[in-house]
Amino acid sequence: MSVTALNHNSRLSDALERDLMRQAIAAGEATSIVDLCKSVLATLKKGVVALYDFVVDVAVAMDDARAKDRQFTGTQW
């Protein structure tokens, strides 16, 4: 069961659902599965690229921290 099925407040009434369907049909917007898939894949690609950039930035920051730590290791204050 989904959360929607368990939450009665989030269900669409029949009248509301009919109105939404009429509006969608009247708008004449064509829905293409191919366009939808392209959009989803483009969004996923952006997410993967952002995650990769984040991991690279963290690795660079950790390398810098290790290099700075090496400079001060063994020194007497």
Write the CA distances from 30 to 15, 24, 26, 34, integer angstroms: 23, 9, 11, 12
Q: Per-residue pLDDT tens for 36-72?
A: 889 999 999 999 999 999 999 999 999 999 988 887 7
Give the residue, 46 or 34, on which the prediction is more confident: 46
Does residue 48 lie within any of the structural domains? yes
User: Is the overall model pTM greater than 0.75, yes or no?
Assistant: no
| DSSP notation for the chain | --HHHH-GGGSPPHHHHHHHHHHHHHHT----HHHHHHHHHHHHHHHHHHHHHHHHHHHHHHHHHHHHHHHHTT---
Full domain range(s) for residue 21: 3-72
Does residue 43 lie within any of the structural domains? yes
How many structural domains comprise the chain? 1
Does residue 77 lie within any of the structural domains? no
Does residue 59 lie within any of the structural domains? yes
Any residues with CB less than 8 A from the CB of 12 and at least 6 apart, and which? 20
Note the pLDDT of residue 3.
46
